[in-house]
Amino acid sequence: MNRNYILLLLFLVVSCTKDLELSYEKSDQTMVVNCLFSENEAWKVTLTRVKSYRDQSDTYIDDASVLIVPENNDTIHLVYFKDGIYGSDEKPISGVQYRLVVRDSKGNTITAKSSIPLEPIISDIKPSTQRTTYFSNANLSDYTVMPLSFRISANDSANFVRFCFFAFNTKWGYTRYMVTKETISELRKLDFPEAYLGELEKLIGVSMSSYVYFTVIREISEKYELPSNGLGIAVSKLKEKKVTTRYEDSFQSGYLFSNSIGFNNVSKDIWNVLGEYSAEKELTLFVTDVPVLNKGSQTNFKEEYWLEVTGMSEDYYKYEKSYIKQVNNLDNPFASVIEVYSNLTNGVGIFAGYNSQMIHYHDY
């Protein structure tokens, strides 16, 4: 008898499971408002309703009145575009307090207030390529990292910030990929299933980075029985296009850690460092060494190191922190329920201002 039988026997003796039918809430009409605004983008508010897990897609609200009321200025009326999105050509201005007023056709009113904080100033950046080991107490794991020191300004009595680390590979980053009609016809000749080709057809004309495209194609390919080396063949049939712009999806996200007081990874997260501070601070972050490993000794391209610094309103900070906690605790059956923060009265979601800057601080 091996140990599995013993454990199974023990399990059967002392435990049992059964399905439950409880009258928990399976439907809800609570309105969801999603709007993170910055000076770089025009107003865009998405309205949906809370949905059941069973529903495949969101219920969009297309008949609401959406107003943005700036302090000391004229009200902005947002117009409906599609998929629950309401927008305007006007852009928010930093430092101005905005009030959102949403009224749906059922007479429900949702309000929220926020503003774009002043941008934090990062100075005295001192990157290091000296590798060191960072021990994550939350994950009980070691990571090989490189330190990054800098100073951050304080604009207010309470400042909130998020840091993320990205690498941009100059060899792959300037190449875009897309599915074309030729891709489909060539794969058809190679006896690829029609259902598979149907899914690929939906991507025709969509330009993506290699990282994203290969992931998307792989996920689709795994669902079908393809000819031998089907994934490799499908990828080879994508159309390549060289560009000179660094597209957002061409940046590769890396692990980022902090052991400075007030600046931490939330829960078991290893991608974001969130900070709350009241005076100018000098801090050290630790970035993953994966880009260095990618490059190795090759000299025909660069790995650019970028630090994304997001100045957050307090509401955005609370939302982000609770969101990270929720996602990172869903794998823990004993964890208490985590509610994601919302600053909306009579609804859920977020209406909050932020600013964002990408700092190119080092090339490897």
Partner 1 sequence: MRFITILTLFFLSFSTIAQQKRTISGYVTDAQTGERLYAASVYEQNSGIGTISNRFGFFSLTLKEGVANLKISFVGYQPQTKIINLSADTLLMFSLKSDNKLDEVVVKGNRNSKLADNSKLGHVKLSAKELAKLPSLMGEKDVMKSLMILPGVQQGSEGSSGIFVRGGSPDQNLILLDDVPLYNVSHLFGFVSVFTPEAINSIDFYKGGFPARYGGRLSSVVDLRMKDGNKNKRETSINLGLISSQFTTEGPIKKGESSYFFSVRRTLLDLIFKGVAKVAQKNMEEQAIPSYGFYDINGKINFRLNERNHLYLSFYSGKDNLSFEYSDHLKSTEKEETQKTSGALNWGNVMTALKLNSQLNSKLFVNTTLSGSIFNYGNLFNGNTETIVGSDISKNNFSLEYQSQIRSLGLKTDLDVYSKSNLPFQIGLFANVNNYLPGKQKVARNEGTDENSSGEISSLDYGVYLDKKITLGDKLSFTVGLRNAFYSIRNQKTYFAAEPRFSMTFISNENTSYQASFAKMTQPIHLLSNGNVGLPTDIWVPSTKLIRPETSDIFSAGMKKAIPSGIKLSMEAYYKRLNHVISFTEGDGILNVDQNWEQKITVGNGRAWGVETEARYSNSKLESWIGYTLAWNDRKFDDINKGRWFPYQYDRRHKFDLGIIMKLNNDWSASATWTYQSGAPATYSGLDYSGFPNNLNNETTDFFTGKPINSDRIQYYPSINGVRLPAYHRFDIGFTKEWERYGKKKALSISVYNVYSRQNPFMVYAKTKPDGTIGLKQFSLFPVIPSISYRISF
Residues 163-202 that bind partner 1 (CB under 8 A): 164
Please state whether beta strands 159-169 and 272-277 pair in parallel, antiparallel, or not at all (unpaired). Answer: antiparallel
Could you tell me which stretch among 72-80, 172-180, 223-231, 332-340 binds partner 1 (CB under 8 A)? 332-340
Q: Minimum CB separation from partner 1 for residue 237, in Å?
A: 27
Stretch 41-60 residues interacting with partner 1 (CB under 8 A): 46, 48-54, 58
State yes or no: residue 281 binds partner 1 (CB under 8 A): no
Count Cβ atoms within 10 A of the Cβ of residue 315 and give its class: 0-12 exposed, 13-18 middle, 19 or more buried: buried
Q: Minimum CB separation from partner 1 for residue 5, in Å?
A: 8
CA distance 273 to 309: 10
Q: Minimum CB separation from partner 1 for residue 209, in Å?
A: 16
Q: Minimum CB separation from partner 1 for residue 269, in Å?
A: 5
State yes or no: residue 16 binds partner 1 (CB under 8 A): yes
Interface size with partner 1, residues (CB under 8 A) = 72
Query: Token pair of 310, please?
Result: 């997001």
Q: Are 158 and 278 spatial neighbours (Cβ–Cβ below 8 Å)?
A: yes
Residue 282: in which H helix or E strand, if any? strand 281-288
Stretch 298-327 residues interacting with partner 1 (CB under 8 A): 319-320, 322-327
| Residue choice 184, 252, 348, 353 for contact with partner 1 (CB under 8 A) | 348
State yes or no: residue 82 binds partner 1 (CB under 8 A): no
Q: What is the DSSP string of 73-115?
A: SPPEEEEE-STTEEE-S----TT-EEEEEEE-TTS-EEEEEEE
CA distance 213 to 220: 11
Our CB check for partner 1 shows the closer of 233 and 327 to be 327
Stretch 237-256 residues interacting with partner 1 (CB under 8 A): 253
Stretch 122-161 residues interacting with partner 1 (CB under 8 A): 133, 135, 137-138, 140, 142
CA distance 180 to 239: 7
